[in-house]
């Protein structure tokens, strides 16, 4: 997370930011193909952009951000591409890990990340443990994550405990996102308007924002425009 001052749009109200924002970082492959580059260069550029956007979210004072890094369905991609994605994840964790502790940022993972290569699992475990008491910001990385798997995992835990739950709030404790602030705002880049098995439980009342920009080109300036749009929404949560 390198600090680089970004001008704040005057229309953005810093007192009314979402508590928890999630981003589906789509369009890395198309970004690369457009430039005549291999798809994995798109993931590398996507990772560079993740650093910039995480820093900006942190600088704005938003408390929690979830990023969709690798889905349970992404295993269907060619091995070379999967290895490329894992390589950027590995570099990111190794290069930026210490910075998280310095910044008081906690790293957590949603998903069955233990199916990743052993060295990445080890690095994740090390960082999760090292940052567990950091309270300034939470970065939740969705890795080998699928919302249906997450819910099924929760249901199975409840069944194993022989319990019957009385409310949705009780079920939330069985999800990876347990303890995180409610998910206020979800952004998907690249023009696709679908949720692709992402945070299906958590986004029941989230505001959604779709942009045609490919993820590697999604700038802090555009993030601010998305947040301005969020601030114009009337959130009723089922009431009138």
- Residue 90 CB partners (closer than 8 Å, separation 6+): 117, 119, 120, 123
Q: Of 1, 79, 104, 57, which Cα lies nearest the Cα of 226? A: 57
Of 146 and 154, which has the nearer Cβ to ligand FPP?
A: 146
CB of 143 to ligand FPP, least distance (A): 7
CB of 6 to ligand FPP, least distance (A): 20
CB of 192 to ligand FPP, least distance (A): 7
Q: Of 74, 112, 149, 229, which is the active-site residue?
A: 74
Give the binding site for ligand FPP (CB under 6 A): 25-30, 43, 46-47, 50, 69, 74, 85, 88-89, 92, 141, 190
Of 55 and 154, which has the nearer Cβ to ligand FPP?
A: 55
CB of 220 to ligand FPP, least distance (A): 16
List, edge to edge, every strand of the sheet that includes 20-24.
105-110, 137-145, 64-71, 20-24, 185-188, 207-210
Q: Of 26, 28, 40, 96, which is the active-site residue?
A: 26
Tell me, yes or no, if 26 is annotated catalytic. Answer: yes
Give the separation between CA 222 and CA 232, rounded to whole angstroms.
Answer: 16
Give the separation between CA 185 and CA 232, rounded to whole angstroms.
Answer: 12
Of 50 and 223, which has the nearer Cβ to ligand FPP?
A: 50
Nearest residue by C-beta to ligand FPP? Answer: 29
Of 29 and 154, which has the nearer Cβ to ligand FPP?
A: 29
Of 97 and 182, which has the nearer Cβ to ligand FPP?
A: 97
Tell me, yes or no, if 94 is annotated catalytic. Answer: no
CB of 221 to ligand FPP, least distance (A): 19
The residues annotated with a catalytic role in the active site are: 26, 74
């Amino acid at each position: 997370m390198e600090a680089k001052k970004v001008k704040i749009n005057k229309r953005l109200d810093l007192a009314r930011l979402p508590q928890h924002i999630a981003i589906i970082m789509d369009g890395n492959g198309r970004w690369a193909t457009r430039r005549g580059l291999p798809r994995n260069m798109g993931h590398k550029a996507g990772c560079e952009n993740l650093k910039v956007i995480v820093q900006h979210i942190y600088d704005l004072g938003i408390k929690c951000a979830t990023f969709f890094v690798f889905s349970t369905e992404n295993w269907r991609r060619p091995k070379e591409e999967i290895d490329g994605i894992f390589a950027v994840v590995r570099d990111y964790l190794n290069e930026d890990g210490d910075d998280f502790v310095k910044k008081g940022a906690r790293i957590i993972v949603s998903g069955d990340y233990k199916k990743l290569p052993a060295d990445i699992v080890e690095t994740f475990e090390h960082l999760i443990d090292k940052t567990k008491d950091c309270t300034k910001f939470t970065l939740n990385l969705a890795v080998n994550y699928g919302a249906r798997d997450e819910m099924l995992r929760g249901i199975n835990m409840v069944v194993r405990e022989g319990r019957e739950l009385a409310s949705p709030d009780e079920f939330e404790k069985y999800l990876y996102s347990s303890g995180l602030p409610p998910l206020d705002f979800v952004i998907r880049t690249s023009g696709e308007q679908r949720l692709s098995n992402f945070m299906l439980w958590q986004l029941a009342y989230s505001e959604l924002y779709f942009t045609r920009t490919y993820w590697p080109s999604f700038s802090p300036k555009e993030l601010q425009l998305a947040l301005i749009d969020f601030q114009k929404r009337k959130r009723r949560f089922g009431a009138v």
